[in-house]
Structure 1
Amino acid sequence: MGAKLKNAPVFFSLGQIQHNPLLSLENYIPAIQESMRKAGYPGFNRTLRVAFNLNQALAGNEGAPSEQLPSERIEMFVFTNIDSTSGFVMTANGLAFQTTDYQNFEAFWAELRKGLEILSTAVGGLAFAERLGLRYLDAVMPKAGESLSDYLVPQLLGLPTCMPTAQFAYSFSESLLIAENVGRVTSRTVIQEGGIGFPPDLQPLGLNLLNRFSSFKGEHAILDTDGSFAERRPFDLDEIGTHMDKLHDLASGCFKASVMPHASKAWNE
């Protein structure tokens, strides 16, 4: 995709591969951690996350939630670089690479592939991949004397533009793009006042935001571009890379359709 814009709006990106379950993953962690350290990710942390299944609760109680929701304990192993701007999150059936210092897709995929190679080598080979995910969060932060209308297409500005004297807490829009044999991309836009934040379903484990994002306060928009492809296929890194590239192009198209010509100029100054 070429060089990164000088002041690119992307403040978080995530690439994820779901693969065949590894119920004995913990036994391989010492070898994986040593390889991750040599690859530039010496930070290590183990954490537990509890996931609740609301659908199962409703189905098992004739439409009424049960007093105790069905839950699943998910153990995660986190490997981070020295600056805590990039890292891997590993579970029994998935590996994710996340970064707050995105450069371009080629560099991003190279790191994700490196992590997949480390994992596959340590466990003696992965059997299949069944879901690919790629997600970008961009912060549109107008400069003094500018407004979001200078950066975003009118379709994303929402009702507040039609009621300029009214006080709104936020504005939200969402679209779903489906491309056969490539995947789907959900494009969300949230406009609000305050600091840069993350969607409720996404938290950057162990990572720090770059200062120009963490220190910002004011009216801004978050562009949340979430792409995925679900189909079980034999594990093949070259095929995964090719498909991730197509998924990235789809997500990139949604992003470019969301912004005005002024945005690219401003982000490259």
Structure 2
Amino acid sequence: MGQKMKNAPVYFTIAQVRHNPVLRLGSYAPDIQDRMRKAGYPDFKKSVSMAFTLTAQMGDPSQPHNPVVEQVERLMFFSTDSTKGFIVEQNALSFHTTEYDTFETFSDEFMRGLAIVHECVTLAHTERIGLRYLDAVVPPEGEDGLPDFLAPGVLGLSSRLPSDVRVSHSFSETHIQAAECNVLARTIIQGGPLGFPMDLQPIGVKIIDRFGKINGIHAIIDTDASIEGRYSFDLEHIKSQLKILREGVGVAFEATVMPLAVSAWND
């Protein structure tokens, strides 16, 4: 995942910054929308959902928790071709794309959207920065080719089962604590159409054609890197943290795939 591959396996990428709450987000919507439209995101949607929070009664923790209903406001901005978009929430900004080029172009676009929001609402600090990649692994030989593309440690029992036994689903998860970030590396092997992990559903973007045609045995490499901690809001610091996260993702990805897979994606 260092240099751009000719047939890169990445089909979804998302970066997110969690920041101090902006409760009156709706009042900034016109200014944010005008800037996002000029930046290449003219497709605007707004949603309000309800969230429930359980809180204990004051002075009596033995009593049942009272549900508190809160409105969650979300502003969404998408490109005309629906391959990339920003989601602005009261305490977070996310940028996701299904047409990933290079980390540099992805990072620059994310920073551009973050700068727009900061110009409008004046953010004070960040709480968490995350970077997550989904890669689709589809060997030409189908399931029999997975050992040539994936490291033995993520294959589950498939490498030790008789040849006439087929695996319908396999899941591997590894938590990596690097010096400057945490990485959660998952590998899912399954049949059928290419999809998304249960905790991640794309909003407003569509999978490009070559990935939408996948239907059969395949693997999803799900790599999620994050840095937590409160920092004063600084665009340059956020950009440097994104680079650290990218390095963490690269370490996990390179440990997951075999040289033959990298060669195939470069052909």
1:147 alignment partner, SS class: helix
* Cα displacement (A) at 1:215: 1.2
8 Å contact from structure 1 (residues 141, 219) kept in 2: yes
Show CA shifts across 1:114-145 (max 9, x none): 0111001112x211011001000000011247
Q: 1:143 aligns with which of 140, 145, 160?
A: 140
- 5+ long unaligned stretches in structure 2: none
Root-mean-square deviation (CA, aligned residues, Å) is: 2.4
Once residues 212 and 49 of structure 1 are traced to their aligned partners in structure 2, the CA distance between those partners, rounded to angstroms, is: 33
Per the alignment, residue 128 of structure 2 pairs with 131
Per the alignment, residue 12 of structure 1 pairs with 12
Identity among equivalent pairs (%)? 45
* Cα displacement (A) at 1:74: 2.3
2:250 alignment partner, SS class: helix
Per the alignment, residue 110 of structure 1 pairs with 108
Give 2:228's aligned amino acid.
Answer: A
What is the TM-score with the length of structure 1 in the denominator?
Answer: 0.90
Once residues 143 and 12 of structure 1 are traced to their aligned partners in structure 2, the CA distance between those partners, rounded to angstroms, is: 21
2:186 alignment partner, SS class: strand
* Cα displacement (A) at 1:81: 0.6
Once residues 178 and 263 of structure 1 are traced to their aligned partners in structure 2, the CA distance between those partners, rounded to angstroms, is: 26
1:79 alignment partner, SS class: strand
Once residues 61 and 263 of structure 2 are traced to their aligned partners in structure 1, the CA distance between those partners, rounded to angstroms, is: 56
8 Å contact from structure 2 (residues 2, 250) kept in 1: no
8 Å contact from structure 2 (residues 26, 73) kept in 1: no
Per the alignment, residue 169 of structure 2 pairs with 170
8 Å contact from structure 1 (residues 85, 207) kept in 2: yes
2:216 alignment partner, SS class: strand
Q: Aligned pairs, how many?
A: 262
2:85 alignment partner, SS class: strand
8 Å contact from structure 1 (residues 51, 71) kept in 2: yes
Residues 241 and 151 of structure 1, relative CA distance in 2, 3 Å threshold: same
* Cα displacement (A) at 1:75: 2.0
* Cα displacement (A) at 1:168: 3.1
Residues 56 and 80 of structure 1, relative CA distance in 2, 3 Å threshold: same
2:37 alignment partner, SS class: helix
Residues 61 and 4 of structure 1, relative CA distance in 2, 3 Å threshold: farther
Once residues 127 and 118 of structure 1 are traced to their aligned partners in structure 2, the CA distance between those partners, rounded to angstroms, is: 14
Once residues 169 and 2 of structure 1 are traced to their aligned partners in structure 2, the CA distance between those partners, rounded to angstroms, is: 32
8 Å contact from structure 2 (residues 184, 223) kept in 1: yes
1:6 alignment partner, SS class: coil
Residues 61 and 254 of structure 1, relative CA distance in 2, 3 Å threshold: same
Q: 1:252 aligns with which of 246, 250, 253?
A: 250
Once residues 71 and 3 of structure 2 are traced to their aligned partners in structure 1, the CA distance between those partners, rounded to angstroms, is: 41
Q: 1:82 aligns with which of 77, 80, 83?
A: 80
Residues 61 and 157 of structure 1, relative CA distance in 2, 3 Å threshold: farther
Superposed, 1:37-116 pairs within 5 Å as 37-51=37-51, 72-116=70-114
Show CA shifts across 1:30-85 (max 9, x none): 111010010011111112445566x879xx998x9x9x976654221110011100
8 Å contact from structure 1 (residues 48, 76) kept in 2: yes
Residues 56 and 137 of structure 1, relative CA distance in 2, 3 Å threshold: farther
1:205 alignment partner, SS class: coil
8 Å contact from structure 1 (residues 3, 103) kept in 2: no
